[in-house]
Chains A and B, each alone.
Chain A
């Protein structure tokens, strides 16, 4: 009796599971496009928006169907979703590094060889997605989200009197660590010293900023999802620190989404990068191009956001060259 109950329980579970599994496969004729978006961060949402909108507006619109999955930044769910998408799609897009690498590994092991596109990845070579940016080979290509860090930092230096810049970033985010490295290389070429202020979660932001020493003149914030999500916290911490400093901190962000907490920010337009990766997808689906023959693109649509209120509060004179930049949003 006892055993029978358990067997019945288990069988019911399996049966209901397989019934549900059957529900998934009603789209039989269409080209399946799998999208794995690592989390619900603003930048990643914008990439998805650009990608889906472009494909739905193309000639292929009625021949494709999307399967968009989001593991909510959970790494095990990410892996399992990648395995499902790799086996069931004709083309996959990974948004953010963990999703893109998981998709590539899954496609490699399942062996379907379907094209893998990536977006919102800063360092595709370091993440082993591609070996070469111009001619990636194999089945992977995409759009990087590396912003104009050097250009932005040059503008910071143009304020004058900037001798030390600290990079504020989350140590667990691959993209941020890479960008901090780029910033440091640029700064040392200009003879400006640099330091690092790292956090591992949003809870540490306030104390990390409070510990920035007096010698530091400016803060550089990379495209960092954790910090972008708590940017108002950054602002509050910077303002309370400024009250005890002789000179206010200049805060520069490499992501236009950071505008609510930075003096000015300069980054790529994530929606435009989604559009760009959708165009690569169209080249593959329409023209039959091999993913490996398409170069990895960088996004040239830069957005500049200037926060005049903060600048005035901090007594900074924004240079005319910055204010008159084309397409700049001034708050």
Chain B
């Protein structure tokens, strides 16, 4: 069993994959609440432990892993809905209602663990999970268990991610989806345009919660256990991944936001893997993470600065080439353009 450095490199590329796939869903959830609805939803830190604990207990009881996944999605959805009800009808600030839901879900996860004798685990070898049913099949087909394992994460995780991303892309392109985006962007303008802002907020947070619930369930199925302390730091994971992704894709459109969430999640876990190589004792891991976030934001500013400069130069060049400006817009055209700019955040069309 002599290991060469090639295993290390290979392992470097494979080890962060499961976390990357699983937490991409969480990042999309955070993207929906933070960017689309414009609330920092802290209930994420409660949904994760509750769904990991529930999933581990259910699978241990012999319930199918996909049923556990659906139940977790429902838990997330219910949390998101309750959270939005607290904000909309009791007028509790969104940040506080998120904290309330976090406490409630964290408390419930402790209750479930205690009722189960203080543990929430299942044996990976005895029960099927969303990932290992395929992994087992690939092993039977003759693939080495190392590759079979990671390939199952790529295939199953990739399929779930792609399905959800396309469904969201489609949904947020419909009239209802557009209304949700509009309500998040500009409440007053949306209300003036006849959009039911409260309802949109409720739907948006529910979808976000459901996505986080699915991530929690998959995380438990990846680990083989759930703990009530699993949620600690999850909002940080979500936000940092999102910012990392936005460094590459920006925040100009919904599609870019989705891509940023997914790619950002993978980037985040690869960076953690690099940090682990530098500091295996973990004493400095969190400190490095803090430095990393500052560096990321600085890089973001830098990229923005450079691109703005380049764009300005281009525009100047075009202006001088075109000579004169085009004719004055009609009032209706102006209104249309302003609406799409302020309400939907769409890119202003260049004529």
A227 within 8 Å of B (CB atoms): no
Bound Cα distance A322, B225 (Å): 41
Closest to B12 in A: A21
Interfacial chain A residues near B2, Cβ < 8 Å: 28-29
Closest to A196 in B: B114
Contact residues of B: prevailing secondary structure = helix
Segment touching A, from B88-96, B118-126, B165-173: B118-126
Contact B225 A69 (CB under 8 A): no
Interfacial chain A residues near B1, Cβ < 8 Å: 31, 90, 114
Closest to A114 in B: B1
Bound Cα distance A171, B232 (Å): 15
| Proximity string of chain B (115-136) to chain A, C-beta cutoff 8 Å, 1 when within and 0 when not | 0011101111100000110010
Contact B19 A127 (CB under 8 A): no
Segment touching B, from A97-105, A159-167, A186-194, A307-315: A97-105
Which A residues between 291 and 308 are near B, CB-CB below 8 angstroms? none
| Proximity string of chain A (27-59) to chain B, C-beta cutoff 8 Å, 1 when within and 0 when not | 011011000000010000000000000000000
Bound Cα distance A293, B313 (Å): 73
Contact B248 A88 (CB under 8 A): no
Interfacial chain A residues near B223, Cβ < 8 Å: 79, 101-102, 105
Contact A174 B277 (CB under 8 A): no
Which A residues between 43 and 96 are near B, CB-CB below 8 angstroms? 67-77, 79-81, 83-84, 87-88, 90
Q: How far is the CB of B201 from chain A (nearest CB, A)?
A: 29
B338 within 8 Å of A (CB atoms): no
Bound Cα distance A141, B3 (Å): 24
Residues of A within 8 A of B (CB): 1-2, 5-6, 9-10, 13, 16-18, 20-26, 28-29, 31-32, 40, 67-77, 79-81, 83-84, 87-88, 90, 98, 101-102, 104-105, 108-112, 114, 123, 126-128, 138, 171-178, 181, 200
Pairs across A and B, CB under 8 Å, 27 listed: A5-B306, A5-B307, A21-B8, A21-B9, A21-B277, A22-B8, A25-B3, A25-B4, A40-B283, A69-B280, A70-B282, A72-B285, A72-B286, A75-B229, A79-B18, A83-B15, A87-B7, A102-B225, A104-B224, A105-B222, A110-B146, A111-B149, A126-B117, A126-B119, A171-B228, A177-B117, A178-B119
